[in-house]
Amino acid sequence: MSAAISIKNLDVVFGDKVDPALKLLDQGKTRQQIIEATGSIVGVHNANIDVQQGEICVLMGLSGSGKSSLLRAVNGLNPISRGSVLVADGNGHVDLGNCDAKTLRRIRAERVSMVFQKFALMPWLSVLDNVAYGLELMGQGKAERHQKAMEKLEMVGLADWKDSLPSELSGGMQQRVGLARAFAMDSDILLMDEPFSALDPLIRAQLQDELLELQRNLNKTILFVSHDLDEALKIGTNICIMESARIIQHGAPEDIVMNPANAYVEDFVAHTNPLNVLAGRSLMTAADKLSKTNGDVLVCGEKSLWLAADGKSAHCHGKNVPVQECSSRGNGSIPATGTMAITTPDISMRRAIEIRYATEQPVILMEKGKLVGVLTDHNFYHAMLGKHFGCNDAKVMAG
């Protein structure tokens, strides 16, 4: 798949002495040494990242790590000192570091939209006119732009507030207006610079849910800056962690938690709730670790609970145990107490614990008609205690 955003060997340097700063970077000098020598500030150094169409990539790190500097290079707000930032455009890509001013304006108008932390709403315009503002700048007629703006306001649940001024809305509602304005531009790429960080926790969580729902319907490519790991784990298809202007690790949320690249990343994930990100496959006891007799598999030694290899029947001390397939999604029904649930290994740990609590049985994981693993109490304890690396050990297989 061709990337919607492709960043190659990107350096962003702020100041009048860019070339001397780049030479010092190549010599391995630190950001502080470069500031002292040239007065220039390194915002991003040697960044390489591809963001695929339909992906939410979350840039995160401590203050000053370079995440916002990297984000703003994707629409030309920050200088591209060296390297390239390629943005998908039709059947090809535009390199923002080597395009003319007219092409850059077109990319900003048609391909890339931005949602700011501070909403950036015009206080003298109505909600409807705020959403339609970008379309007005593009020269669309009043009727057409208002129709499109109303569609987006309905999408974010603010149609009844179309004639209100921003000052009459709560912070969460104002942020929805900002989202609607970005969506009204119908850009394939959205840049979101800590859009929810100024909001109360409950409103923030609600907007995160709404963003995910909108993304399921619209399939945009989103580059999202956050300093909150739980937010990143919740919404990110991939997470890119930065430190001192460099990308330290880029990967799926589960991989970031399970395999931190260094002590910096490990500190980041140390206090996160693993139930929000880890899937059954990562924490299960694998099928090849389970005891087998006459084609049956011992899925719980404490209960002497056996499962047929095809997953269609189970027994405990000679008595049949009901078996029922169960959705790995959070909105599916859960089997009754005493029933052994069969689900897929991509199930979230939170969902798996809900099933375990309701059924009082281990959770069986199957894929393409084949048993791949089991989740027992030991696996859940390991997850909640943060012991992510011991769960496939033979010591827990009899749980």
The token duo for 81 is 């000192």
* pLDDT given for residue 274 in this prediction: 67
Q: Work out the burial of residue 87: count CB atoms within 10 Å of its CB; fewer than 13 is exposed, 13-18 middle, 19 or more buried.
A: buried
336 secondary structure, DSSP code: P
SS3 per-residue string spanning 251-269: ECHHHHHHCCCCHHHHHHH
pLDDT tens per residue across span 312-332: 888 888 889 888 888 887 777
DSSP strand pairing (305-308 vs 296-300) = antiparallel
More confident residue, 83 or 109: 83
**pLDDT over 60 (residue 85):** yes
pLDDT at 81: 94
> Which residue in this structure is represented by tokens 């060997």?
9
Instruction: Give 240's pLDDT tier (boundaries 50, 70, 90).
Output: very high
pLDDT computed for residue 27 by the predictor:
94
CA atoms within 13 A on the CB side of 155: 25
> What domains can you pick out in the chain, each with its CATH number?
3-111+187-272 (3.40.50.300), 280-396 (no CATH)
pLDDT at 58: 95
- Determine what percent of the chain is predicted with pLDDT higher than 90: 33
> What confidence score (pLDDT) does residue 14 get?
95
Section 81-90 average pLDDT: 92
| Tokens at 138, concatenated | 């593009």
Give 321's strand partners. 314
